[in-house]
Structure 1
Amino acid sequence: MLRSGAGHPDAGQSEASTSRQRSPEEEAQRLYATLNEYLLLEHKTQPKLCLPAESENGEVTTGARDGAAHVLRCLKVWFDLPADVLITAINLFDRFLTKMKVRPCHVPCITVSCMNIALEQYAADTNTKRSISVEELVSISQSACTAGDVTRMSRVIVDKLSLVGGCRAHTALDWLRLLRAMLTFHAGTLPVVCQEDELVQLLEIVSCDAACANVRTSELALVLLYYKLEQQLAEWSVAATDAIPEHAYYLYDFARQIQLHCHMCDTTLAAARARVRHAAARYERCEARRDQRQRLVWRLSERTLKVLRPTDRLREVLPTIEEQHLAVDSTPTRNRSGSESSENEETSDWPRSPVLPVYCDN
């Protein structure tokens, strides 16, 4: 099978250099050949989740699934991983929940294991060395499992999903890059092609929503592409002094051709569009409420707390020192003030210093 699809991880610089020398007919044939390859393998990597909203018999809920997806995205941001790893890990997680009945207590271990498998696949596809160990994944994710548990669970997931010796799974990110390349080829000289980083960010947001988990990957990629294209055309129409060329609206004919070629139904495509708009709108509302975000909380062990400097006797405001008029005796008896820093001076953990530290809110 072809391994040089548009935006495929296996497609290196040599593929990009040869594509510049192709004629338009050859480039179109290559893109549509890659599209046909993706269509043949699409059903093998399509999850079909059926999760309840509330757990009645100890089942994994949609909220637990979304929580696991957000953990995967946090790991991606923490380790500065490419988007391919995140989308692959979420796809593996959804496919495993489709085939297996999982207890909620096993979800953290399955989540880290899917990220572990995605890292292995990305390293194999790009011929690079893996730089993140299993121990680091377990430590940063704060999952109640060990590196051995993740290794064993990874073997179970690989076995259940038949990942050994099989073809590489084409995720929604691969579809998005392919359709964007085809749209760029179809648009010609029109500067209305969406930026790839914006599309990838929108795909990450939508992938973390359980409502979009069962959407067909080709339909999801097409909806995301034209969702950003409509926004870009609207911004262009406002900023441009001249009217939008009529040829720009012919790009919707390309969407119709892709829909017919991939056998997409109008009903499912409209439903996918509504789900994408709902997920994007909810994310924008959450971004608008930054003041209501949960603050970062560090979990400290008892051993760590013992070595920290004590802060129980620190005060935000220093006590007032009363002035004394020393007119009669030049060497009067010194009276101690009620400062808390002089109490238990022999057992104090603070260093002997005439300057007391003061901590304020700012």
Structure 2
Amino acid sequence: MDKRRGRPLISDAVILKPLAFNLEEALEVESVYRPNLLLVQSDLKAGEVTLTLRDGAVNILRFLHIWLDLPRNVYFSAVSYLDMFLAKMRVQEKFLKCLTLSCLVIAADTENQIIDVDYLVKISQGKCTSRDVLRMAKIVKEKLKLVDKCKPTTVEDFFKIYLEVFTYLTRKWEHIISRNLLQIKEHMLTRLEVLLADSSTAFYRSSLLALVLFRLEVENLMAHGLPKKSVYFLGEFLHFFTIIWEIQSICKVKNSELKPCYATVSKVIRKYCSQRKSDHHEELSWKFSFSTIEKSKRNNYHPFLPTISE
């Protein structure tokens, strides 16, 4: 421990650089962009957004970001805006879809991504119009006091800092990890997306949530790659846990916080890996134009078609 600087030092200069600057800078604004959603549960009135409805909205954001081929940071920023607004304002359920789409529009604009709002409203099948979404986006910006093109610090930012550490470690673990490094990172980020869509993880700090997932994923990776009953590779584990302890100290994470978060993250990941049907889904309805409906009436259209024989 360096008493002059008040935090533990990491001997490796490559690890010291992202942790000493990027991590500490992100920690300064962590509480701003990661509000405590316990406020959503307190004193709820009839018709107001619950945490279950919030999870459904985040799943919609995840679907839209994949469907529109938007970068991951757009999704993470949109979730951050949504949670910030829900923690600050009481929102009626009937306005949640419009709020969700407006958060995605704001996040896309921040990342210089162009979205056709009319198309966005159409595929989301909400009852709002593109004008409603843009008006709601303006309200969100005013209430959250967002500055144009100012990017929020999300859980992804913390996770990417930890991934820089992982990139450094893989240079020493080439004999252990045979998978492609890019695929491993994409795999981890996908799981981070899944975690944000579950409100059971919404009460943990971004730095803590990212750290627990990072530790869990690397542990699983090493457990599958390390030879069994090998004393030689025990040093690899010790080196990794030393780095985890250093990060934990910088983030001021207590062991009492680490244990419940670890259990929650493990539970959500196990549920995701079990390929269970999502609890949050919407019934999509087919929408036809008047000309299509009139044409089907004239042609004596039947909803059931005859079976085609092989």
TM-score (norm 1): 0.71
CA distance in 2, matches of 1:75, 1:41: 27
Deviates more, 1:243-252 or 1:98-107: 243-252
Residue 156 of structure 1 deviates from its aligned partner by: 0.8
Deviations 1:209-242 (A, max 9, x none): 011112100001101111111111121136x896
For 2:294, give the aligned amino acid.
K
Contact 1:212 1:276 survives alignment (8 Å):
yes
Contact 1:53 1:63 survives alignment (8 Å):
no
Q: Residues 310 and 231 of structure 1: is their aligned pair in 2 closer, same or farther, counting only changes over 3 Å?
A: farther
Match of 1:34 among 13, 22, 28: 22
- Whether 1:68 aligns to 2:57 is yes
Deviations 1:93-146 (A, max 9, x none): 0110000011111101000000000100111xxxxxx33221121111111111
For 1:232, give the aligned amino acid.
L
Which residue number in structure 1 is paired with residue 83 of structure 2?
Answer: 94
Q: Residues 79 and 187 of structure 1: is their aligned pair in 2 closer, same or farther, counting only changes over 3 Å?
A: closer
- Whether 1:300 aligns to 2:287 is yes
Deviations 1:254-304 (A, max 9, x none): 11111111111111121211111121122223x1569x9989744223623
Deviations 1:299-352 (A, max 9, x none): 223623333465439764xxxxxxxxxxxxxxxxxxxxxxxxxxxxxxxxxxxx
- Whether 1:106 aligns to 2:95 is yes
- Whether 1:252 aligns to 2:235 is no
Which residue number in structure 1 is paired with residue 223 of structure 2?
Answer: 234
Contact 1:187 1:251 survives alignment (8 Å):
no
Q: Residues 314 and 174 of structure 1: is their aligned pair in 2 closer, same or farther, counting only changes over 3 Å?
A: closer
Task: Classify the secondary structure of the residue corresponding to 2:172.
Answer: coil
Residue 182 of structure 1 deviates from its aligned partner by: 2.3
CA distance in 2, matches of 1:313, 1:184: 56
For 1:43, give the aligned amino acid.
S
Q: Residues 202 and 70 of structure 1: is their aligned pair in 2 closer, same or farther, counting only changes over 3 Å?
A: same
Q: Residues 244 and 297 of structure 1: is their aligned pair in 2 closer, same or farther, counting only changes over 3 Å?
A: farther
Contact 2:18 2:161 survives alignment (8 Å):
no
Match of 1:190 among 149, 170, 173: 173
For 2:93, give the aligned amino acid.
P
For 2:190, give the aligned amino acid.
Q
- Whether 1:131 aligns to 2:131 is no
CA distance in 1, matches of 2:25, 2:35: 19
Task: Classify the secondary structure of the residue corresponding to 2:151.
Answer: coil
Which residue number in structure 1 is paired with residue 302 of structure 2?
Answer: 312
CA distance in 1, matches of 2:283, 2:93: 24
For 1:40, give the aligned amino acid.
E
Match of 2:201 among 203, 212, 237: 212
User: Alignment length, in residue pairs?
Assistant: 288
Task: Classify the secondary structure of the residue corresponding to 2:80.
Answer: helix
Alpha-carbon RMSD across the aligned residues, in angstroms, is 3.0
Contact 2:33 2:152 survives alignment (8 Å):
yes
- Whether 1:199 aligns to 2:188 is yes
Deviates more, 1:83-92 or 1:179-188: 179-188
For 1:231, give the aligned amino acid.
N
For 2:31, give the aligned amino acid.
H
Q: Residues 48 and 313 of structure 1: is their aligned pair in 2 closer, same or farther, counting only changes over 3 Å?
A: closer
Residue 64 of structure 1 deviates from its aligned partner by: 0.6
Which residue number in structure 1 is paired with residue 3 of structure 2?
Answer: none
Query: Whose helix proportion is higher, 1 or 2?
Result: 2
TM-score (norm 2): 0.82
Task: Classify the secondary structure of the residue corresponding to 2:194.
Answer: helix
Q: Which structure is larger by alpha-carbon Rg, 1 or 2?
A: 1
Deviates more, 1:39-48 or 1:93-102: 39-48
CA distance in 2, matches of 1:244, 1:278: 32
Deviates more, 1:45-54 or 1:210-219: 45-54
Deviates more, 1:77-86 or 1:296-305: 296-305
CA distance in 1, matches of 2:186, 2:250: 27
Contact 1:183 1:254 survives alignment (8 Å):
no
